[in-house]
Amino acid sequence: MIVLHNDFKTIQFALFFVDVDDKKYAVHRFMLPKLMSATTKSYPTRQKLNQKMEELYGAYIKVRTERMANLSVMSLVLTCVDPNIVKDASLLDQALALFHEVIEEERIFNEDVFNDEKRMLIEQWETLKDKKRAYAREQFLHHFFGDDLYAYPISGTLRDIKKLKLEDVESYYKDMITNQVKYIVINGRTDQLDIGHIERMLGKTKALNIPFVTTFREPREVTYVTDNTKMQQAIVRMGYILKIYRHDKLYDAAVLLDTILGGYPESRLFKIIREQEGLCYDIASGYDYYKGVMMISSGIDVSKLDHALKQIEALVEQLKNEGITELELSHAKAYYIHQLKTSLDSQSTLTKRAFVRDMLHYHESVEEKINLIQQVTLDDVNQAAKMLVYDTCYVLKGEDHD
């Protein structure tokens, strides 16, 4: 169990269940935390559980299923106000007892809730096209990642959802609770807590015993895909392969490259495509260090789409060929360090960070990390830039009326 002590006004109890990412169980892992946090033995309906949460000053359980390289991570985080502020000594015991029931080995799931969740998930899929940006993202991931698991919807496909039965989820749950990797993090004013009691309620850590694998396919001929729909803008998503991963020497250089390309308002994409050319309102890049890819996204004026695509492609080529400046590097470093420090003031970020560091054995201190960032050279970033390989361009667009 990881215990973080600080003076936030809330206390978090977090559980992380980890397994190898597998298409077969994607829908189970997406559905399970929703069902686990909807009812318990003492609170067998949603209404009863929600009423109990209200009694606990609006405590809430946030659930999430996500991918980290070849792993699937399912998290349940209970956040509750510090009992000292509301002067309710029994608050944490009540919250813990409730959270204990969420992960009880012999728990049962409410079939009505399962059917509701299944229906809502199906509706979410059936309405995906209404949400243009979410639809464009899904389509881009499909075309960019292809046969890789990252292309597979995190919720499973519509077919998976329709086929899912409660018995399947229950059987998966039993296996997960007894066998799977589990991390526990407690974060807040923990000096007042009985850690032994919490361990008895939430169980013990089961450390990662699965290889952590960061790979992706080789680059290919650039793939261009365009879909048309009724909309005002053109949503552009571009994928580049950047074979630098979280454990690599050039990792911090790649983060700085992302910052300089499209990570903040002083980035080249923002300055040139938005401010100089006036082609869009939003434009940004993002680096996935588990998959070794850099992605660009923007909502573009549809009448200037071709010009915008050429400009963005040329901008990246120029970055690769001519490199960055010392000034760009020093500003990006200041911004990266600022982001790092700011994240340490967020309770939820600290909770997740503690889990990731423990699981992947990252032990560097903040000072050491800052030192590593400061040591990145112009050559490091330019070397990373040269490794960018253009791979996929997806556009979802409306009609051009100009």
Please report whether residue 286 would count as binding other proteins according to CB under 8 A.
no
- CA separation for the pair 105, 119 (Å, rounded): 26
Give residue 248's identity as a one-letter amino acid code. D
Parallel, antiparallel, or unpaired for β 223-228 and 389-397?
parallel
Residues 1-30 that bind other proteins (CB under 8 A): 6-10
DSSP assignment, residue 303? G
65 φ/ψ sector (left φ>0, alpha ψ -120 to 50, else beta) = beta
- CA separation for the pair 78, 103 (Å, rounded): 12
Please report whether residue 374 would count as binding other proteins according to CB under 8 A.
no
**Using CB under 8 A, which of the segments 142-150, 195-203, 295-303, 387-395 binds other proteins?**
295-303
Q: Of residues 39, 233, 285, 297, which one binds other proteins by CB under 8 A?
A: 233
Q: Of residues 207, 210, 314, 344, which one binds other proteins by CB under 8 A?
A: 344
256: three-class secondary structure by DSSP: helix
CB of 202 to other proteins, least distance (A): 22
CB of 285 to other proteins, least distance (A): 15
Tokens of 275: 């401010």
CB of 50 to other proteins, least distance (A): 4
CB of 165 to other proteins, least distance (A): 18
CB of 57 to other proteins, least distance (A): 3
Query: With contact defined as beta carbons under 8 Å apart, do 182 and 203 qualify?
Result: yes
Q: Of residues 22, 42, 93, 127, which one binds other proteins by CB under 8 A?
A: 127
Please report whether residue 54 would count as binding other proteins according to CB under 8 A.
yes
* # residues contacting other proteins (CB under 8 A): 68
Nearest to 295 by CA among 280, 284, 279: 284
Residue 67: its H or E element: strand 60-68
Query: With contact defined as beta carbons under 8 Å apart, do 391 and 222 qualify?
Result: yes
Please report whether residue 89 would count as binding other proteins according to CB under 8 A.
no
**Which CB sits closer to other proteins, 218 or 402?**
402
Query: With contact defined as beta carbons under 8 Å apart, do 232 and 135 qualify?
Result: no
Tokens of 232: 């005002």
| Contacts to other proteins by CB under 8 A | 6-10, 45-47, 50-51, 53-59, 79, 81-82, 85-86, 112, 116, 119-120, 123-124, 126-133, 230-233, 264-266, 270-271, 274-275, 278-282, 299-301, 331, 334-335, 337-339, 341-342, 344-347, 398
